Structure 1
Amino acid sequence: MKNECIIGLGEVLWDMLPEGRKIGGAPANFAWHMAQFGYDARAVSAVGKDADGEAILGNFAERGLKAELAQVDYPTGRVEVTLDAEGIPQYRILTDVAWDHIPCTEALRTMARTARCICFGSLAQRSEESRRTITTLLDEAPREALRVFDINLRQQFYSREVVTESLRRCNVLKINDEEAVIVARMLGIASEDICEIAERLRVDYGLRATILTCGSRGSHVFYDGGRSDLTTPKVKVADTVGAGDSFTAGFCAAWLHGCDIATAHARGVAVSAYVCTCEGATPHLPEELTRFE
């Protein structure tokens, strides 16, 4: 069977933003953007048997985003989001919600066996049930598939065990500058240089690439044989919600298309910069960003 499927695996929820609610969750954001690049992408998560869950199902159907969203006996996830003066989000994440209980079905295992790319993070692994599903599906994925750990450390919802086991299962790590310092301390890496930390993680865990984002201070990609460094474009920021997820999608879309690392990096930067000019995490991308020559 040809490996075609792109999977965003983990949380799906409502971001309760100052201007109103918008669908969020890093893996769902990733799937949405990958679909805009023309890939067979779908979000895998769980929602409640409630009005919020029905609204997510209806929204995905309306936008044409494929999804495997189990309806479970827990409330649909919500995150209270406030923005500081620079548009940087602060999150209050509700606990024991639907995406903490993603069931591992045979249909999902079959899907994972056809994956070209699975993107996952640490947040949905805060519960044993969803963590078990995530690790099972990663283990079912083909050896050559991209397994992207977009780490997304949030509040207290991570542990050394989750981080190290995820690093062992991934082959691409996406991490930001603040997370790099936290992970270095967690793993006993004796460095405060975030670029050195990123490269050390790549080497220690045998990764194909480590993507390090540093907000307005640029971004870097470390890979076997080199590194790519780019500045962050100056744009009028509406908010930065979902910017990192769109970066990951732009990078992966280009790399899977056959672009080299530097070109994939540039596409991730461009997509992320555009998303920062929009409200919410999942705007429609203009054709010039989703087209490859």
Structure 2
Amino acid sequence: MTIWNLGSINADMIYDVPHLPGPGETLSANRLDQFLGGKGANMSVASARAGARTAHIGAVGPDGRWARDRLTEYGVDTRHIAVVEVPTGHAIIAVDAEGENNIILFQGANHAISEDQLGQALSSAEPGDLLVMQNETNLQVEAAKMGRELGLTVCYAAAPFQADAVQAVLPYLDFLILNEIEAEQLQQATGQTVSDLTVQHVIVTLGSKGARYFHNGADSDFPAHKVQAVDTTGAGDTFTGYVLAGMDRGMPMAQAITQANRAAALMVTRHGTADVIPDLKEVREAQLG
């Protein structure tokens, strides 16, 4: 089986700051690091490192060939990543001493993916494969419709959150993942709680409290591991990639979520994004609280 990821690819510029800047504040950073990032790239790396065959559908600019090469190094199939005449997407990320962050995102080439490129990629998909999207690229609705027609398991990570974007793909989804705030925003927009949705699998991530899984009218809680967080950037993407890999490999959902919780806990103890996502061996052997 294969996980097909219509996903963003960014250069993440991460600034270590004493506190998150307020309006009008000029703040000196203690350190700057550059990593491969973007929610899409993070999820592709996570699912590949969790042992799933992962194919990324996306785009970079002429300045972003390094990102495509790095995804290849991490085990991701990059044949469906186009090089376009638009700058590669990037994110400016400030991280404070407690590991909290804020992010400025430039979409760039992530919104230059063509429908022909998407169709050519998914022509190689087989029924039962997984298709995942996030709200950092174009063609989400087109991909969701195509995935449903091809018999794929259609998954959506609802971030960065926009109620209209989620509602547009909801009719085609088999799996929805969103955080606690996004779940509240979706309820305000639709009048439905996550337990009211017709989506078969829904996970609400709860940060340091873990995750809640909704299925067939019931919900189950999965507590997080207690660790000293240094950087929460990419932890949710790592969780999602590991859950998808577990689904792809036929794990019971409870087992997939438990393993994903371990991966996310390990991820927040590291500075960085895609380049520091733990592999399956590290996740299984980690000593976590």
The TM tier, using the shorter chain, reads 0.7 to 0.9
Match of 2:3 among 6, 9, 14: 6
- Residue 243 (structure 2) aligns with: 251
Q: What is the CA–CA distance in structure 1 between the aligned matches of 2:73 and 2:202, rounded to whole Å?
A: 35
- Asked whether 1:289 is paired with 2:283, we answer yes
Q: What is the CA–CA distance in structure 2 between the aligned matches of 1:274 and 1:290, rounded to whole Å?
A: 10
- Residue 137 (structure 1) aligns with: 143
Partner SS for 1:135: helix
Q: Deviations over 1:182-226 (max 9, x none)?
A: 11111234xxxxxxx22123xxxx211110111112310010153
- Residue 174 (structure 1) aligns with: 177
Match of 1:59 among 67, 70, 77: 70
Match of 2:160 among 143, 153, 158: 153
Match of 2:165 among 162, 166, 175: 162
- Asked whether 1:84 is paired with 2:96, we answer yes
Aligned AA (1:246): T
- Residue 35 (structure 1) aligns with: 48
Larger mean Cα displacement after TM superposition, 53-62 or 4-13: 53-62
- Checking the alignment, whether the CA contact within 8 Å between 1:5 and 1:116 is kept in structure 2 is yes
Q: Deviations over 1:49-91 (max 9, x none)?
A: 22xx122123223333222211111111111000133212211
Q: CA deviation at 1:289?
A: 3.1
Q: List alignment gaps of at least 5 residues for structure 1.
A: 125-129, 190-196
Instruction: From the superposition, tell whether residues 36 and 224 of structure 1 become closer, same or farther in structure 2 (CA, over 3 Å).
Output: same
- Asked whether 1:46 is paired with 2:59, we answer yes
Q: CA deviation at 1:113?
A: 4.8
Partner SS for 1:152: coil
Aligned AA (1:139): K
Q: What is the CA–CA distance in structure 2 between the aligned matches of 1:38 and 1:114, rounded to whole Å?
A: 20
- Residue 192 (structure 1) aligns with: none
- Checking the alignment, whether the CA contact within 8 Å between 1:6 and 1:117 is kept in structure 2 is yes
Instruction: From the superposition, tell whether residues 218 and 290 of structure 1 become closer, same or farther in structure 2 (CA, over 3 Å).
Output: closer
- Checking the alignment, whether the CA contact within 8 Å between 1:112 and 1:137 is kept in structure 2 is no
Q: What is the CA–CA distance in structure 2 between the aligned matches of 1:222 and 1:30, rounded to whole Å?
A: 21
- Checking the alignment, whether the CA contact within 8 Å between 1:112 and 1:138 is kept in structure 2 is no
Aligned residues: 263
Aligned AA (1:42): A
Q: What is the CA–CA distance in structure 1 between the aligned matches of 2:241 and 2:263, rounded to whole Å?
A: 8
Q: CA deviation at 1:153?
A: 2.4
Q: What is the CA–CA distance in structure 2 between the aligned matches of 1:259 and 1:64, rounded to whole Å?
A: 21
- Residue 222 (structure 1) aligns with: 214
Coordinate RMSD, CA, aligned: 2.1
- Checking the alignment, whether the CA contact within 8 Å between 2:97 and 2:230 is kept in structure 1 is no
Instruction: From the superposition, tell whether residues 32 and 286 of structure 1 become closer, same or farther in structure 2 (CA, over 3 Å).
Output: same
- Residue 204 (structure 2) aligns with: 212
% identical aligned pairs: 25
Q: CA deviation at 1:286?
A: 4.6
Q: What is the CA–CA distance in structure 2 between the aligned matches of 1:179 and 1:110, rounded to whole Å?
A: 32
Q: CA deviation at 1:34?
A: 1.3
Q: List alignment gaps of at least 5 residues for structure 2.
A: 16-31
Match of 1:99 among 107, 110, 126: 110
TM-score in terms of structure 2 length: 0.83
Q: Deviations over 1:230-260 (max 9, x none)?
A: 2211112121111111111222222332222
Q: What is the CA–CA distance in structure 2 between the aligned matches of 1:87 and 1:57, rounded to whole Å?
A: 28
TM-score in terms of structure 1 length: 0.82
